Structure 1
Amino acid sequence: MNQDKNKSVLMIDIKQIHHVAYRCKDAKETVAFYQEVLNMDFLVAIAEDRVPSTKAPDPYMHVFLDAGQGNILAFFELPNSPEMDRDRNTPEWCQHIAFEVADMAALESAKIELEARGIEVVGITDHGIIKSIYFFDPNGHRLELTCRTGTEKQLQQLAEVAPLMIEEWSKTKRAPKHAAWLHEQEFKDL
């Protein structure tokens, strides 16, 4: 499939992600966490007794938070649904929300602040082109704070090998080694 050829034919023109929505256990607690811990502004709350798209009778509270630069993070509290859980067939590290911070100093400061609040933090993890820390919100959603550390040359190299890697992966289901340099430091002692 030629991606460049297909892009010229498509009429859909995405500008950005408007919002990403997740479920929460308690809307008020969730808003407080994102306001107090991640300094997000609480933008909007919408509540209905019926779901507008399906017309199903299912009361909900839908809250929206400002994740910066036009990015919106939203949550639904669903009191009449079974208690929320996660997909047990997906490792908890896999599904996460990543937020970018300005630089390494901001990442280090965030780690110190989170730990001072009693939040368990994993990392700082070096991903070659970014460095990240990981922690969980009160709903069990894994969060990542990351800062960019890669060079333009590294990003270009990754873009060049991406098609080769996806092709190899689709045939072998084994990790192609084209970008193994990203995590060499993280795995050197294993």
Structure 2
Amino acid sequence: MPSTPLDLNGLDHYAINIADLQRSADWYEDVLGLHILHKWNTTWMVGRGNLKVGLFLRPEADPQPDINNTVLIQHVAFSVDGDKFSDIHQYLLQKGLAVTGPEDSGIAYSIFLQDPDGHKLEITTYHAS
């Protein structure tokens, strides 16, 4: 029996505020292969399989100037199989994206990039056990 009645089985989606729906949908499709699943007036859901991102149109919103001194979600990390990590890194570089890393945290290798609105995304793979 779980220690809590909340027997969660995964993350359904995460939601982000963005300045331009089409620009963000195009970027998430081109870079991450996420397709438009549904469109509401000011919100679009993009995704593939069990991975989804809610794009919330907020054209007047100001970006956070210093995420290290603000309480917010700092980044989202996507996991990949270790044998695909290097190919994904090269793919992102070939697309001309600014990618930092790889970094070794001691338990995983990670690379980082930003979407068109500056949301930090991580691609990570854990060390072999």
Shorter-chain TM-score: what band?
Answer: 0.7 to 0.9
Which structure shows the higher strand fraction?
2
> Please, what TM-score do these two structures have when normalized by structure 1?
0.59
Q: What is the Cα-based RMSD across aligned positions, in Å?
A: 2.4
For structure 1, the 5+ residue unaligned runs are: 48-60, 152-190
Contact 1:24–1:84 (CA<8 Å) still a contact in 2? no
Greater RCO, 1 or 2 (C-alpha within 8 Å, sep 6+): 2
**Matching of residue 146 in structure 1 with residue 127 in structure 2:** no
Contact 1:23–1:77 (CA<8 Å) still a contact in 2? yes
What is the distance in 2 between the residues matched to 1:11 and 1:148?
29
What is the distance in 2 between the residues matched to 1:32 and 1:83?
20
1:65-84 alignment to 2 at 5 Å? 65-66=46-47, 68=49, 70-79=50-59, 82-84=60-62
For structure 2, the 5+ residue unaligned runs are: none
What is the distance in 2 between the residues matched to 1:38 and 1:83?
24
The alignment-based identity, stated in percent, is 26
1:77-156 alignment to 2 at 5 Å? 77-79=57-59, 82-86=60-64, 88=66, 90=68, 95-103=74-82, 105-151=83-129
How many residue pairs align between the two structures?
127
DSSP-derived class of the 1:23 partner: strand
**Compared CA separation, residues 35 and 89, structure 1 to 2 (3 A):** closer
**Matching of residue 33 in structure 1 with residue 14 in structure 2:** no
DSSP-derived class of the 1:107 partner: helix
Which structure shows the higher helix fraction?
1
Contact 2:44–2:54 (CA<8 Å) still a contact in 1? yes
Which of 1 and 2 has greater Rg? 1
> Please, what TM-score do these two structures have when normalized by structure 2?
0.83
What is the distance in 2 between the residues matched to 1:150 and 1:115?
25
